A and B are shown apart, each in its own frame.
Chain A
Amino acid sequence: MTRTEFWQGNTACAEGALAAGCSFFGGYPITPSTEIAEHMAAQLPKKGGVFIQMEDEIASMASIIGASWTGARAMTATSGPGFSLMMENIGFAAMTETPCVVVNVQRGGPSTGQPTMSAQGDMMQVRFGSHGDYAIIALCPATVQEMYELTAKAFNLADKYRVPVFLMADETVGHMREKIIIPDKVERVERKPLVPGTLPFKADADLIPGFAQFGKGHHVHVTGLTHDERGYPCTTNPKVHGTLVRRLVDKIEHARDEMADYDIINPGAEQVFVAYGGPVRTVQQVMHDTKDKNTGFLRIRTVWPFPEKALAQFKNARIFLVPEMNLGQIAREIERHVKVPVQSIPKLGGELHTPAELVAALEAER
């Protein structure tokens, strides 16, 4: 039986993780994500899982990577300053192909910025924040329902692609309370195990190697150094490094269409809003109020890898309007993929765009 609740977004995120079988949470308190840690601290021990409050976000990220290698579904949650601290170990997770889920309930930055206010300023950091070339997956919820569903989905994507997956929420969605329908169970995709006798970092045709879980007799060596298919350090061979890094990127990029998650309204429209996370709500209000077939809406849930093919579906598009709670981070990504103008509608300060602001932007470009 499904059931209906009235929950805060952060609660829904934690419950989505529990429903997905998350059994390890390592975290550090930070506004506006703390409710996720608090909920996990209360609920995980009841389910036989482990909650541990680490000494900082560097350690939180490290702990979930360690836990993941024992086979656990592991997660942490943070916000901007903590996210910055996690960057080195996020790169380690990418390099070692460690499945894990990181929630970033975004607040105003840079630095300590606006701890209690909403923002989407970490959308480029999540893609490129750690050093070197790599690829990750980032999902953006716009509703409390999606805080639940996309968190559960993040674990499946992490296990399938062996990559850190990010739930890039914002304070608006994290602290919003609204109706949520809890499903009976959530779909679960398991990690592909290493076939005994095969090399632990030799990929299959899908570019993903089988997972050599600790404690199963695989004797796997996991290192952040450039490594060969045995997992052994091999740091001065250009071919080994090139092959490894290209595979880490390609395994995600090649699955771009497969994991693309978006909704399209009015594909024949000339003016098209593109939004993710909190600003989706304002665009929805504008769409509801105007009921204009010439205004389209692309609502994105998988922001990384960016679902570029979705843009091409708006064949009559004359302009893309992109409201974001940053200075146009994803607008610039959209510019790379389309030949028509892209109008960034930035909003700083911690509040959502008002419908009037978006209507004004729409009319200015008419």
Chain B
Amino acid sequence: MSYEDWFREDRLPHIYCAGCGNGTVINCTLAAIDQMGWKKEETVFVSGIGCSSRAPGYILTDSLHTTHGRALAFATGVKMANPNLNVVVFTGDGDLAAIGGNHFIHACRRNIDLTVVCMNNQIYGMTGGQGSPTTPRGRLSSTTPYGSAETPFDLCELAIAAGANYVSRWTSYHVRELEKAVKAGLETPGFSFIEALVQCPTAFGRRNKFRQVMDQVEYLKVHSLLVAKRDRMIEKGEPIPEDMYVVGELTRRNRPAMGVKP
């Protein structure tokens, strides 16, 4: 088997824009799942609403494409009712951190045995480019026409503070690292959260002077700060630039979890 065997070919072509980063994240996730040796009939994908949440519709397993923000609450029902199922949630920054923020922190707190992959494009892509809770300060969107005046969420710090067992962040540039992080998340009992910063040329890049798809990927690459390097900078008392994204494994621990396969 390869990750390609997990695709629902009769759903193609997909709805994603040319240059979208979501496909990269889906491939990495399926590659990780394929390495786990999971069977399709014991794997369920759950999602909410948004570009990222369309992903389960392209995967040949049981899948639940739910209401906006509520994927984790639905997934909690699936996993608690049948812990033998492997449950993976695809979500986005708007779905998870805005309308679904409460479910996010409570799923982390319960440390329920789910793997959550968040495609963070820092914008509402499906509805045409409105500001989200992760839109950086100053960035332009259709609802922040003068630049976002709000401070964005750090989703990983939120997950760590709320109690998740495994937390990693990478970008759509870091394909190998992302795949490994998802696999580590799948292997970890309890709540695993993998944030993947992705380019969105149509809704984000277009408004924020990323002329080419790769310009935004390049931006994400050069603004990634490895967690080890960040730690060395802190040791030396160097300031961490505000526009850097700390990438790497941010937490791996063994807090009591719920819904773990018996």
Contact = CB atoms under 8 A, between A and B. Distances in A.
Nearest to B81: A67
8 contacts: A50-B80, A54-B106, A59-B73, A62-B77, A74-B77, A215-B44, A219-B60, A233-B57
Interface string A212-236: 1011111111111100001011000
B168 interface: no
Contacts of B42: 215
Given A63-B76, A221-B57, A221-B62, 15 more contacts: A50-B80, A52-B76, A55-B103, A62-B66, A62-B74, A63-B73, A63-B74, A65-B74, A70-B85, A74-B77, A212-B62, A214-B44, A219-B60, A222-B63, A225-B65
A220 B73 contact: no
A219 B61 contact: yes
Contacts of B8: 219, 221
A66 B70 CA distance: 11
A66 B106 contact: no
A65 B77 CA distance: 7
Contact of A221 (B41, B63, B73): B63
Given A214-B85, A219-B61, A221-B56, A59 B66 contact: no
A69 B65 contact: no
A200 to B, nearest CB: 10
Contact of B76 (A23, A66, A68, A232): A66
Contacts of A69: 62, 64, 78
Interface string A52-78: 101110111011111111111010000
A279 B85 CA distance: 46
Nearest to B87: A66
A238 B80 CA distance: 38
Nearest to B105: A55
Interface string A268-307: 0000000000000000000000000000000000000000
A26 B81 CA distance: 10
Nearest to B39: A217
A52 B81 CA distance: 10
A223 B15 CA distance: 15
A314 interface: no
B254 interface: no
Interface string A313-357: 000000000000000000000000000000000000000000000
A89 B78 contact: no
B151 interface: no
Contact of A89 (B46, B67, B76, B106): B67
Interface in B183-219: none
Contacts of A220: 62-63
Interface of B: 8, 10-11, 40-42, 44, 46, 56-57, 60-67, 70, 73-82, 84-85, 102-103, 106
B77 A64 contact: yes
A255 B80 CA distance: 33
B74 A66 contact: yes
Given A92-B66, A214-B44, A221-B65, A67 B103 contact: no
Given A62-B66, A219-B40, A224-B67, A214 B82 contact: yes
B65 A222 contact: yes
A47 to B, nearest CB: 14
Contacts of B74: 62-63, 65-66
B65 A67 contact: no
Closest 4 CB pairs of A and B: A66-B77, A63-B77, A62-B73, A67-B81
Contacts of A71: 81-82
A219 B77 CA distance: 18
Contacts of B77: 24, 26, 62-68, 70, 74
Contacts of A50: 80-81
A170 to B, nearest CB: 27
B70 A62 contact: yes
A205 to B, nearest CB: 26
Given A55-B106, A63-B73, A222-B63, A23 B81 contact: yes
Contacts of B81: 23-24, 50, 66-68, 70-72, 74
A225 B11 CA distance: 15
A223 B73 CA distance: 15
A115 to B, nearest CB: 22
B65 A63 contact: no
A220 B44 CA distance: 10
A147 B70 CA distance: 30
Contacts of B40: 217, 219
A66 B67 contact: no
B64 A222 contact: yes
- Interface centre among A52, A63, A217, by most B CB within 10 Å? A63
B70 A59 contact: yes
Contacts of B66: 62, 65, 89, 92, 224
- Interface centre among B44, B77, B85, by most A CB within 10 Å? B77
A337 to B, nearest CB: 34
- Interface centre among A67, A68, A221, by most B CB within 10 Å? A221
A5 B61 CA distance: 47
B65 A215 contact: no
Contacts of B56: 221
A365 interface: no
Contacts of B79: 66
Nearest to B79: A66
Interface string A19-49: 0000110100000000000000000000000
- Interface centre among A23, A58, A232, by most B CB within 10 Å? A58
B102 A56 contact: yes
A233 B84 CA distance: 28
Contacts of A62: 66-67, 70, 73-74, 76-77
